[in-house]
A and B are shown apart, each in its own frame.
Chain A
Amino acid sequence: MNSKQKKNLIRILVTTLLLVLLHFLPVHGVLRFVLYMIPYLIIGYDILIKAGKGLVNRQPFDECLLMSIATIGAIALAIYRSGDYVEAIAVMLFYQVGEWFQSYAVGKSRKNIADLMDIAPDYANLQTEDGSLEEVDPDDVAIGSIIVVKPGEKIPIDGVVVEGQSALNTSALTGESLPLDVFEGSEVISGSINLSGLLKIQTTKEFGESTVSRVLELIEDASSRKSKSENFITKFARVYTPIVVYSAIALMLLPPLVLLLLGRDPHWGDWIYRSLTFLIISCPCALVISIPLSFFAGLGAASRHGVLVKGSNYMETLSQTRTIVFDKTGTLTRGTFRVTAVHPEEISEEELLHIASHVERFSNHPIGVSLRSAYPNEQDDCRVEDVKEILGQGISARVNGKTVHVGNSKLMETVGAKWRPCHHVGTTIHIAIEGTYAGHVVISDTLKPHSKQAIAELKRHGVRKTIMLTGDTKPVAESVGRELGIDEVRSELLPQNKVEEVEKLLAERTNPKDCLAFVGDGINDAPVLSRSDIGIAMGAMGSDAAIEAADVVLMDDDPWKLIVAIQISKKCLRIVKENIYFAIGIKLLVLLLGAFGIANMWAAIFSDVGVCVLAVLNAIRCMHMNFHLPQKEENT
């Protein structure tokens, strides 16, 4: 609670107390009027002053001015008719209560959301030339400086570890809860929290260019890119207040004049009272506040789960996604090769891998790396000599005195081994020992753990069609597509073909509201990302180009995050819609009831501040969403 809120709370309490006291005082006439004016002025003086300023500055639709006219009108009616001043004071009182609550709730949620995004480091421990540490503003650290990050501290600037090892908590940026192990030579990103050991880091970027600064800037800018609903509400508010004010004037003048012409009692007092009710309802604040707040809360919730949405408008598009186009390598698959099948002829599977990995002992080729990682105890005491690379065919070596050839079918033919083709999709590596065929190993790109579940789950979130685009060969692409349950696979595409395919899909759609999303890993697919309705870059942590080109950035490379993003966007949009219908609905209802004299000023003030408070509370629901990862599937 800030000092302004405290002061207003005291005013509210004092006014309430005075109203209760006055209720029991048997005073009449002028004295009664004077006494009742005390609480009115206590609760309303600032409104009256602002109304005066509004008059001077020619702002006829100023909220305070309307509120002042309504209450002064009510007081005048009270003098003339009943002597019931309570209603006018109550309207002012409830208006202030509403304003107070709104300011409190908005301030609270503003703080909550800011806490979610509290990833900005406050200082950096700079190592000076004599080896001592100095606490400095991260902005003042030059590229190439050495900074020290103690356990429990945030890494302030992107860099490379030069000394020490530790585990990092990157959840603030990626939403990933598993700690990341880092050691000498590891690249680290700012915003992650050092959990265990002391780290010395050589910075590679300036603070302003570091991940954490870029992410924060993105989030702050995001709520400035307004969605259609926000623009609608702003436009609506612009016409709503004048229309209601003019109807109030019409309501005050027309019915009594008609009655007068008909020769009946015009009931001036009643009609003036009803038109004053209109003035109270004319304030658009409930509408105007709740929509951006809902989006802001949604964007905050998304960023906490490692999903950066670059604008409220993209939140809207995301919730309307009907077609999703995926890139294959690096998006749905890991993009790294692993041994997926071992088919020996006579020896055991283990023995075959054992021999093959020995031959590849010194190889840096991706195939060699994957063979070695499939047989982790490769560095045993077997003798490996005479390693020879046979260009375009494979490698040969002497393992424990036996000549072993590892390579493609061409190599097998060269050495005269009788090889057999494999029914598995992927790259087949044949192995021959002393010129006799010993079997083969299949290496292929593997799916990410959540790809399959994510594709299946998408259908439950309104996505009608999933399409995979890839530069890979048809058999590989189709096998991956089948395994994932993708609707359509288009293979053997060059990067520019991918743009053409997306353009074709965009042209094919019948309903322009059905949005098309493209999900890629941000490498080479910037044109497609920007061409589609909404471009989603995955695993873009630290990749500037991808963050630039995409509209939504999934900070880690888990496809399941796509589901999280869509769920958040849908919930956010639902809350936005609820608030729009609810606020406009209640206001129209009270206007209607007010025109017929059924709703009084109390109802009017509820439709203004009550609705506003409820809408704000509803908007905050956006922030509290929890998502569970699917059960880990057996890695194949």
Chain B
Amino acid sequence: MKKTYKIDVDCANCAAKMEDAAKNTAGVADASVNFMTLKMKVEFEDNADVDAVMADVLKNCKKVESDCEIFL
């Protein structure tokens, strides 16, 4: 399943870091962050609990870039 989230982040490099962090979160099959449209597309693994996974994604993103936000 795929979902798109609005995000807020200041720099392009930080967006790239968020993408990596999201990709490496358990339950995420693939993720891509588009800095220009400020959107994050997340493809979840089958039977993943979307809300729980996204909470983890946000936590991991905050770790690499404390100034970012994902609007869940």
Contact = CB atoms under 8 A, between A and B. Distances in A.
Interface in B8-32: 10-13, 16, 32
Given A285-B11, A288-B13, A224 B67 contact: no
B64 A59 contact: yes
A102 B63 contact: no
B66 A50 contact: yes
B36 A288 contact: no
Given A223-B36, A296-B36, A57 B64 contact: yes
A388 interface: no
Contact of B12 (A50, A113, A289): A289
Interface in A310-368: none
B47 interface: no
B29 to A, nearest CB: 15
Contacts of B63: 57, 59
B12 to A, nearest CB: 4
B13 A292 contact: no
Nearest to A50: B66
A393 interface: no
A57 B61 CA distance: 11
Given A292-B35, A293-B36, A237 B13 contact: yes
A289 B66 contact: no
B30 to A, nearest CB: 11
Given A113-B36, A224-B32, A284 B41 contact: no
Given A57-B63, A220-B39, A63 B34 contact: no
A103 interface: yes
B14 to A, nearest CB: 8
A53 interface: yes
Interface residues of B, number: 17
Nearest to B19: A234
Contacts of B39: 220
Contacts of A110: 36-38
Given A50-B66, A57-B64, A234-B16, A102 B11 contact: yes
Interface string B32-54: 10111111010000000000000
A153 interface: no
Given A53-B66, A223-B34, A223-B37, A292 B10 contact: no
Nearest to A291: B12
B66 A292 contact: no
Nearest to B10: A103
A interface secondary structure, majority: helix
A223 B11 CA distance: 17
A292 B10 CA distance: 15
Contacts of B37: 110, 220, 223
A234 B16 CA distance: 8
A99 interface: yes
A50 B13 CA distance: 15
A292 B64 contact: no
A99 B34 contact: no
Of B32, B36, B38, most A-chain CB atoms within 10 Å:
B36
A279 to B, nearest CB: 15
B41 A99 contact: no
B41 A289 contact: no
Contacts of B13: 63, 237, 283-285, 288-289
A222 to B, nearest CB: 10
Contacts of B35: 289, 292
Interface string A556-574: 0000000000000000000
Contacts of A234: 16
A237 B38 CA distance: 20
A102 B9 CA distance: 13
A177 to B, nearest CB: 27
B39 to A, nearest CB: 7
Contacts of B34: 220, 223-224
Contacts of B12: 285, 288-289, 292-293
A99 B10 contact: yes
A284 B67 CA distance: 18
Contact of A237 (B16, B36, B41, B67): B16
Contacts of B67: 50
Contacts of A288: 11-13, 16
Nearest to A219: B37
A42 B67 CA distance: 18
Interface in A212-258: 220, 223-224, 234, 237
Contacts of A103: 10
Nearest to A4: B10
B41 A224 contact: yes
Nearest to A300: B36
Contacts of A293: 12, 36
A106 to B, nearest CB: 8
Given A50-B66, A50-B67, A292 B36 contact: yes
A120 B34 CA distance: 20
Contacts of B36: 110, 113, 223, 292-293, 296
Contacts of A57: 63-64, 66
Interface in A263-300: 283-285, 288-289, 292-293, 296
Given A53-B66, A224-B41, 19 more contacts: A50-B67, A57-B63, A57-B64, A57-B66, A63-B11, A99-B10, A102-B11, A103-B10, A110-B36, A223-B34, A234-B16, A237-B13, A284-B13, A285-B13, A288-B11, A289-B11, A289-B13, A292-B12, A296-B36
Interface of A: 50, 53-54, 57, 59, 63, 99, 102-103, 110, 113, 220, 223-224, 234, 237, 283-285, 288-289, 292-293, 296
5 contacts: A223-B34, A237-B13, A285-B11, A288-B13, A289-B13
Q: List the 10 shortest-distance A-B pairs measured between CB atoms, nearest first.
A: A289-B12, A296-B36, A288-B12, A288-B13, A53-B66, A57-B63, A224-B32, A285-B13, A285-B11, A224-B34
